[in-house]
Each structure stands twice: as structure tokens, then as C-alpha cells.
Amino acid sequence: MSSTDNPSRKKLVADWQALIRTFIRPESDSSKRALLKYMEQILFGLHEFLKEHVGITEMVGLKELSDRFKNSVIAETPEKKLEDVIKDLIEDIAPHAVNVASPYFVGHMTSAIPFFMVHLKTIVAALNQNVVKLETSKVVSIIEKQVMAKIHRLIYCRNDRFYEEHIQNSRTALGAFAEDGTLANITALWVARNNLFPAKEGFSGVEKEGIQAAYNSYGVDRCVILVSRLGHYSLQKAAGVLGIGNRNVIAVKTDNENRMSLDSLAGIIKDIRNNEPKTKILAIIGIAGATETGSIDPLYSLGRICSENRIHFHVDAAWGGPTLMSHQYGRLLRGIETADSVTIDGHKQFYMPMSAGMIFFKDPTALDAVVYHANYVNRPGSVDLGIKSISGSREANSLILDAALKIMGSQGYALLVEHGIETARAFAEEIRSRPDFELVTEPVLNILTYRIFPFPMKQEFHQSDPLRQKEIRTRLNKINRTVQRLQREAGKSFVSRTTLKVDDSPDDEIIVLRCVIMNPMTTLAILKEILNEQEDICQKTFARLGNGLQP
């Protein structure tokens, strides 16, 4: 390159040259060797590496940690050489990250991922395609359409002719990627909202005119969304964002297996029909793998109710969707094929790196309700995928999912799903067999909740009057909250905690411990260790107080 091309280059030739190099290659061979050593560790030795360096979730030092990161000034000149920044990241930052890959980390829906996922993500970053339009993605847009069809088929099982027609059809869309399950749920309800208030004589549709005009035009006062009380909080967020109002997400009661009560649902629908002529039901949402309990709503019945009442049926299968790949457990999601839209998260049980939400629609023209064009991007009739998605620029997650499906096969994923469910069931048995614990929610999938409930307190509880029972509950909540925190701080294991309602006492909430078993390295032996540790912590902490386990 000649140096006469550009004035700034002439002026700052030394720095400019160095800068150019950072785009292309390391500054020296020794720098390259240092980097390669680190990257090899990251690419191939990840799990051991993390295990070596990181406690599970040691909370000690959060304050000290945050005190180390209080520099609000961008340095004018480079602070560090590239390899030193990488070194810091690996030696100094990573040890204070959370070791979500540990088999002892069973508290959240984030876990170990196959090491090759990191390789795939690296390739995606290197290609740096922008899927918003064909001109910055080309083959990747085509692969995205293919992988969307594969997952659509997993859900909806339409025939060959259907997929032949739509798989590479630039006018239709079987689904879309979104940043995560929240944005996938927002997209589903955005489409449902727009299809509820389409253009008609004298009204050009809610997307164009807004909600006030839509409600006026259709004689509506409010819209509601019905979902069981175990619905993910993103549904409230969606209703808030979309202008529906989050208080209009109505929590339907659940039965004793944490599934939406069809009787309660029927009652609410009837009530609205009879008493609120100006209320519209925007959507009914079935959950396939509730965040807290892993439970699955009666999807088939919900589909029938929605179809009879012409209501949009959305299934939030962010967690449970990949269960469909297991011959043995896929049928737990029977009825999902009747859903108008389905959310599945790639970064959950597809084991993709953070983050890859996906939304699918039964009707390949459903996404037409949210089409946006612009002259400089996304021309009508093109393969530009950004025409029908809530985001604009986004990375090529489809390459990762497409490759992973080839490497794992549905059978590989099925093994993971089955391991999770069967380990959870065995763990439930183990909890039941221990006198000082109580299984609170049975695992349907690979999530269960339980709590520490020392045997003497159990005995007393069953003989007590309601007032005394309430006291015992309060005490139990304290014990469970404390043990969960102390175990997390000890840094060996991590289970999460949440708050559930009690069936027979709707005013009371109980604190439960929650396990999500998705890491194939998490064995029953490890789960037993975790229970043992909880017993130990409980004994040590509350026995000190002198018969502390008595309330």
C-alpha cells in the first residue's frame, strides 16, 4: 500500500502500521506463539482448565471484586499488549467467572457445552457475517432457512411437500432467531397482537396505527394473555413492551402437578366471554418446561381450546423443546404441533453458546405481520432475513446449530435429554429416601425442587394447627435460604432457590431448592454429595443455636 493515499497515514505512520497489523496478525512470532498457547487451552482444555482455576460460585469478595473495576476512563493509548490482555482474561478474570461447566453447578439453565461449540462460535466470529441481509451473509442466510426448517419439522412434523415448498422460499418464513427466549416470546406475541388487529376498512392495522387506534377501531377495551402462574417473567415483559400492559397477563391456577388447570382456564374464558364484551384474549400460552419446576402444560387440550375459541396458541418451550428429539420422552410434549408459535432456546438444551433464542410459526406467512423494509437493506421479496425479525444486525447462530445437529444427531441430543430426566428421577428418589428432606415438585423433565425439612420438624408439622404450621414454614424458609447461601459461598456446589406457592395455603410461599440437571457429567453420586453437604451445613449452622432445628 502506498503511503500517499491518505493524509493521516503519512502523519502517524508508525502507529498506523501497528494498527493495520492488529487487523491482520500478531505483532511478532513470539506474540503469536503466546496467543496460540492460550487459545489451545481455551479450545481444547476448557473443562479441566476451568475446574482448576474456578470455585463454583464463591461469593466472597464481590465487594472487593467490584472495587477493582471502577475505572471509568478509556485510556488514550493502549494499556496493554494483546497477549497480556488475553493472559489477564484467562488468568485473572476467568477465575472470578462462574464455573457453569462444573457438574456441581446444577442451579441454573446454563451448563457445560460440548467443546466443539467453542470452535463453531470462533468460526462464526471469524466470518463475521451479518444475517440482517443477504449481501452480508449469503450462504449463511440459506443455511439459516434450512436449520429453521429442521427445527420446524421437529415441532410440527409437516410433510415433505410442505418443507419442499417453504425451506428456501424467500416469501415465507418458518421461524426466526432472536437474542434469547425473551425476545422470541416478544416476537410471538407481537405477531399475535398484529394478527388480532389487522388492517380493515378505515383502519390500517395496529402496527401502523398503534394500540389506541386498534382498540377503538375494533371496539376493544383491553387484551389479556392467559398463562399458568408458572409462566416465565418474559411474558409480562412482552405484554409491557407491546403496549398490552403486563397486568393483563392473567395467571391461571395450576393443578397438583404444576400444569395449567383446564377448569380454571375454561372458567376465565367463560367469565370474559360473559362479562367483559370489550376484552379480547390475545393468546393462551402453554409452557413446555417451566423455569421453576420443569412441568409441562396439557398442550394438546390447550391447542383444542385455542382452536375452538380462535385464540393464538403460543408454547414457551424455551427449555423443553429439544425433548422432542428423544423417542422416549418427546411424547411428553404431545400437542405442541397445534401451537401457532413455539419458542425454543438454542443456548439451553441445544447446548449452544450464549445466546440463541428461536421462534417458530405453524403458518409460514405468520411473520408477514411484522415485516419491515428499508431501501438500503432488506428489500421486499429478497432472502434478506432481517425483514422478519425484531432485531436488525445479528450473528450467524444458524451455522452453529446446523453443524451441531450434524455432529450430534438427534440421538446424541436424545441421550443428553434422557440422562437429565433419568438422573433427575433417581435424584428425586434419593431425596424422598432421606428423612431430613422433602421433594416439593416431582421432575417431569430434568428440573426438580425440594427443601430441607428436618425430620423432627416434619413430625411436628403434621400434628400442628394452621397457626403453628405457619410458624414452622417461616422457620423452614429461613433454614433453606441460609443453607443455599452458605453452600453457594462455600464454592463447591451450586443449587438455586426460588419461591413457590403452597397448594393448601395460597397466601404462604415456601422457599425451595431447585436443581436443573443438564450437564452429562452430573451423576447421582455428585447429587448425593450435594445433599450431604446441605445436611452438614444445616447441622453445623442450626445445631449451634442449641436444638436449632426445632422451630
Residues from 296 through 335 that contact its own copies (CB under 8 A): 325
Region binding its own copies by CB under 8 A among candidate stretches 212-220, 253-261, 267-275, 360-368: 212-220
Which of 110, 104, 100 is CA-nearest to residue 492? Answer: 104
3-class SS of residue 326: coil
> Is the Cβ of residue 409 or residue 466 nearer to its own copies in the bound state?
409
Nearest distance in Å: CB 167, its own copies: 5
Residue from 118, 251, 272, 472 touching its own copies (CB under 8 A): that is: 118
Total residues contacting its own copies by CB under 8 A comes to 196
Footprint of its own copies on 477-536 (CB under 8 A):
488, 494, 496, 498-499, 514, 520-521, 523-525
Footprint of its own copies on 249-288 (CB under 8 A):
none
> Is the Cβ of residue 20 or residue 266 nearer to its own copies in the bound state?
20
> Is the Cβ of residue 172 or residue 549 nearer to its own copies in the bound state?
172
Region binding its own copies by CB under 8 A among candidate stretches 125-133, 253-261, 264-272, 458-466: 125-133
Residue from 405, 444, 448, 483 touching its own copies (CB under 8 A): that is: 405
| Amino acid residing at 88 | D
**Alpha carbons 426 and 523: distance in angstroms, whole number:** 10
Nearest distance in Å: CB 176, its own copies: 12
| Amino acid residing at 75 | A
Residue from 186, 302, 315, 359 touching its own copies (CB under 8 A): that is: 186
Residue from 108, 229, 470, 481 touching its own copies (CB under 8 A): that is: 108
DSSP 46: H
**Contact letters for its own copies, residues 217-256 (x by CB under 8 A):** ----xxx--------xxx-xx-xxxxxxxxxx--------
Phi–psi pair at 363, nearest 5 degrees: -90, 115
| Amino acid residing at 255 | D
> Is the Cβ of residue 143 or residue 445 nearer to its own copies in the bound state?
143
Strand partners, 315: 286, 342
> Is the Cβ of residue 212 or residue 532 nearer to its own copies in the bound state?
212
Strand partners, 320: none
> Is the Cβ of residue 215 or residue 542 nearer to its own copies in the bound state?
215
Residue from 251, 272, 415, 428 touching its own copies (CB under 8 A): that is: 415
Phi–psi pair at 284, nearest 5 degrees: -110, 135
Footprint of its own copies on 441-480 (CB under 8 A):
none
Footprint of its own copies on 349-368 (CB under 8 A):
353-355, 357
Helix axes 397-433, 524-543, angle to 10 degrees: 60
Locate 118 and state its grid cell: 467453542
Region binding its own copies by CB under 8 A among candidate stretches 101-109, 433-441, 464-472, 537-545: 101-109
Contact 513, 437 (CB under 8 A): no
Query: Who contacts 44 (Cβ-Cβ below 8 Å, separation ≥6)?
Result: 115
Residue from 28, 365, 393, 505 touching its own copies (CB under 8 A): that is: 393
Nearest distance in Å: CB 115, its own copies: 6
Phi–psi pair at 268, nearest 5 degrees: -65, -45
**Alpha carbons 282 and 287: distance in angstroms, whole number:** 16
Report the length, in residues, of the chain: 551
Residue from 28, 30, 128, 532 touching its own copies (CB under 8 A): that is: 128
- Whether the CA torsion 360, 365, 368, 373 is positive or negative: it is positive
Nearest distance in Å: CB 210, its own copies: 3
Footprint of its own copies on 53-92 (CB under 8 A):
57, 62, 65-82, 85-86, 89-90
- Whether the CA torsion 236, 240, 246, 250 is positive or negative: it is negative
Region binding its own copies by CB under 8 A among candidate stretches 304-312, 403-411, 438-446, 536-544: 403-411
Contact 369, 207 (CB under 8 A): yes
3-class SS of residue 434: coil
Footprint of its own copies on 129-158 (CB under 8 A):
129-130, 133-140, 142-143, 145-146, 149-154
Contact 295, 257 (CB under 8 A): yes
Q: Do strands 279-287 and 222-228 pair parallel, antiparallel, or not at all (unpaired)?
A: parallel
Residue from 167, 176, 315, 317 touching its own copies (CB under 8 A): that is: 167
Contact 223, 244 (CB under 8 A): yes
Half-sphere exposure of 202 (CA within 13 A, CB side): 4
Q: Does 20 bind its own copies (CB under 8 A)?
A: yes
Q: Do strands 249-252 and 222-228 pair parallel, antiparallel, or not at all (unpaired)?
A: parallel
Strand partners, 515: 448
Nearest distance in Å: CB 338, its own copies: 20
> Is the Cβ of residue 305 or residue 384 nearer to its own copies in the bound state?
384
Nearest distance in Å: CB 54, its own copies: 9
Contact 373, 345 (CB under 8 A): no
Nearest distance in Å: CB 192, its own copies: 13
